[in-house]
Amino acid sequence: MEQHNNSSLLKNYNRLPIEFVKGEGAFLFDTKGKKYLDFLSGIAVTSFGHAHPQLTKAVHDQVDKIWHTSNLFEISLQEQVAQKLTEQSKLAKVFFCNSGTEANEAAIKFARKFGKGKSTIITALGGFHGRTMGSLSASAQYKLWQGFFPLTPGFTHVPYDDIAAINDSINSDTVAIMIEPIQGENGVIVPSKDYLKKLRAICDANDLLLIIDEVQTGIGRTGKYFAYQWTEIKPDIVTIAKGIANGLPLGAVICSEKVAEVIQPGDHGSTFGGNPVSLAAALAVTELLTDDVLNKIQQLGESLLTGIKNLQLEKVTDVRGCGLMIGVEFDASIQVKDLMKELLENGVVTGTSGNNTLRLLPPFVINQKEIDLFLLTLSKVVDKFRKAEVKQLQSVQ
């Protein structure tokens, strides 16, 4: 694949030379009419696939009414979606913004306002909370920091899934622990089953806030409404974005009553956050995300995870994940970025993350037939790489 030179665009994306112009369900179509199975969902965004009739109707109906007013006035759709989110999270209040990084920036501000002078937030190495300066500083990945120093102060970074390191890092200035229930950008890293429960206990014992970043894992991605619900804890703050509006820009912070009561008019805001069009899509998403759909996500995720393991691909070193969020890690003999491009050539859209890991985030509307198609294509592509490696070795000998 040759890189397309978008001369008028900033070169901050390493774009592939394919443009998708149409989507139907779990499939995408490019400018040449080629059909692709979408196992990326716009990086966990289009959870209910493309051109979903209920979502399409909700957005069309709202566009015909009003696009934008201002958060200086009441917006009833915000109230409706906020009620859905508080019911599901068992928390008290919601703030709407435009994206995941904005949600995390707001969470950082809310935590520091709550702290009344305490400001340090503990986060995990390998974590990803966004690319604006506060959330970037919270994201403990050196490769993301290069060129952007000095970082925003007030963050302590410890190894993920390491309770002892958390305890050792708490001091008189610590106000919160901010963590992902699964590290998506770091390779779909799943912590110990009791990790979040132990974090909750630490926060309770030290009067700290527990902030759960559900930007990628939330809104059904793991088979629960929120991934933290697998351990039945209650955070103080939850941040979401990505799948909440199925492709329209929307993020949100959901917080407990004790956090909400310290936030006053003028403390934070957003011009576009919670606009009626995005909220119309979000309301439709919340209506679509039923218990039956969550159970289906769990079943399909288990089928996909088991199916990959049963392929017994010799270049695979680990398969991990939860629900429809799965990482397939390969050994160094296969470059996963090249594998991803080969899958694309064969009509399957995937992604990469972490240490040589293929990231799979299929939409909730996939079926077993489409999972089988993916498994067949993955097996074929990995076998092609294996044969190419054998051929190369033979030529050297």
As annotated, the active-site residues are 128, 213, 242
Q: What CA–CA distances, in Å, run from 105 to 60, 167, 237, 245, 279?
A: 31, 24, 12, 20, 20
User: Any bridge partners for residue 318, and if so which?
Assistant: 329
Measured distance CA(44)–CA(65) in Å, rounded: 29
**Strand ranges in the chain using DSSP code E only, listed in sequence order:** 20-24, 27-30, 35-38, 93-97, 120-124, 155-158, 174-179, 209-213, 237-240, 251-255, 316-322, 325-330, 348-349, 351-353, 357-360
Residue given tokens 């992604």 in the structure block: 351
Q: Which of 334, 344, 311, 338 is nearest to 386 (CA)?
A: 334
Helices 276-288, 76-89: inter-axial angle, 10-degree rounding: 40
Are 97 and 270 within 8 A, CB to CB? yes
With 0-12 / 13-18 / 19 or more C-beta atoms within 10 angstroms meaning exposed / middle / buried, residue 10 is: exposed
What backbone phi and psi angles, to 5 degrees, belong to 204?
-65, -40
Specify whether the CB–CB gap between 102 and 95 falls below 8 A.
no
Which strands, in side-by-side order, build the sheet including 348-349? 20-24, 27-30, 35-38, 348-349
DSSP per position, 113-132: HHHTT--EEEEEBT----SS
- Of the candidates 223, 243, 211, the one whose C-alpha atom is nearest the C-alpha of residue 106 is 211
- Taking alpha carbons only, the member of 298, 299, 300, 319 closest to residue 308 is 319
Query: What span, in angstroms and rounded, lies between the C-alpha atoms of 19 and 25?
Result: 17
Q: How far apart are the first and last CA of the chain?
A: 30
